[in-house]
Amino acid sequence: MSKTLIVTGASRGIGAATARQAAAAGYAVCVNYRASAAEAEEVVHDIGNAGGTALAVQADMASEDDIVRLFETSDKELGALCGLVNNAGIVGPVARVDEIDRAALDEVLNVNVASVFLCSREAIRRLSTHHGGKGGAIVNVSSRASELGGPNEWVHYAASKGAIDTFTIGLAKEVAAEGIRVNAVNPGLIETEIHERAGVGDRLERLVTGVPMQRTGTADEVAATIIWLLSDAASYVSGALVPVGGGR
């Protein structure tokens, strides 16, 4: 029986690592991407070469129509859904609150918050026993920033992840008796392109001294926690916000 997982923003970084590990764990993986078709196809190719099943589907997480189409395509091509990883996220510009502009704020809140509501809505309609589903698991990729606040860097981003923490707690309670577990991971300083692309390539080096383990983390270390939260090994875990940050 197929078990299908949708991972949003899976063309690189934590999403790509999650897609690869999920395929190795036996999931048929729907690899969502927005613009990086070549990178997404490479993830799918690697999964296929390793004997797994995956499909790349273009969809902008800022668009409700795209989100609906992503889930419909996954249903049609990969079969019954069993899980969702809400991973796609952006930091927006480096800016103090007194510098932020409305368009940047809208984009961060659309991609980091509204998309998580809408993807989860689509997943619940398929997974919930109230809707005739068989249950499943949702993992949201939040951030340690929700607790730290992101001052002088990106309070807008940190606050968007704060919304994800609260969403995780609330949704977990809402669907707990319908066979769906909802959890979050809160990564710390992880080696992906997100820092460089935001124009702060020196960020990991600058901030690593504040990490108790005195090192940055890898996308694979975050992915391993996500895979555990999706799995039956975490069958009594819901509403958890799991820090993956080399110590608190």
Stretch that binds ligand NAD, among 26-34, 117-125, 126-134, 228-236 (CB under 6 A): 26-34
Quick one: 25 or 208, whose CB is closer to ligand NAD?
A: 208
Binding flag, residue 146, ligand NAD (CB under 6 A): no
Binding segment toward ligand NAD, per CB under 6 A, in 18-26, 29-37, 97-105, 118-126: 29-37
Question: According to CB under 6 A, which residues from 107 to 136 bind ligand NAD?
Answer: 111
Query: Is there binding between residue 143 and ligand NAD (CB under 6 A)?
Result: yes
Candidates 3, 12, 126, 156; binder of ligand NAD (CB under 6 A) is 12
Number of Cβ atoms within 10 Å of the Cβ of 81: 24
Question: Does 13 participate in binding ligand NAD (rule CB under 6 A)?
Answer: yes
Scanning 23-31, 70-78, 85-93, 123-131 for contacts with ligand NAD by CB under 6 A, the matching segment is 85-93
Which member of 27, 33, 157, 236 is catalytic?
Answer: 157
Shortest distance in whole angstroms from residue 219 CB to ligand NAD: 6
The full 3-state SS of the chain, as one line of letters, equals CCCEEEECCCCCHHHHHHHHHHHHCCCEEEEEECCCHHHHHHHHHHHHHCCCEEEEEECCCCCHHHHHHHHHHHHHHHCCEEEEEECCCCCCCCCCHHHCCHHHHHHHHHHHHHHHHHHHHHHHHHHCHHHCCCCEEEEEECCCHHHHCCCCCCHHHHHHHHHHHHHHHHHHHHHHHHCEEEEEEEECCECCCHHHHCCCCCHHHHHHHHCCCCCCECHHHHHHHHHHHHCHHHCCCCCCEEEECCCC
Yes or no: say if 71 and 81 are a contact pair by the CB < 8 Å rule.
yes
**Residue 223 in the binding site for ligand NAD (CB under 6 A):** no
181 binds ligand NAD (CB under 6 A): no
27 is catalytic: no
246 binds ligand NAD (CB under 6 A): no
89 belongs to the binding site for ligand NAD (CB under 6 A): yes
Please identify which residue in 148, 194, 224, 240 interacts with ligand NAD, judged by CB under 6 A.
194
The least CB distance from residue 196 to ligand NAD, in Å, is 9
Query: Amino acid identity of 21?
Result: Q
**Contact 222/211 with Cβ under 8 angstroms?**
no
Does 141 bind ligand NAD (CB under 6 A)? Our answer is yes
Residue 9 within binding range of ligand NAD, rule CB under 6 A: yes
User: Is 54 within 8 Å of 42 (Cβ atoms)?
Assistant: no
C-alpha to C-alpha distance for 33 and 11, rounded to whole angstroms: 6
Active site residues: 157
The residues of the shown chain that bind ligand NAD, judged by CB under 6 A, are 8-9, 11-15, 32-34, 36, 60-62, 87-90, 111, 141, 143, 187, 189-190, 192-194, 197
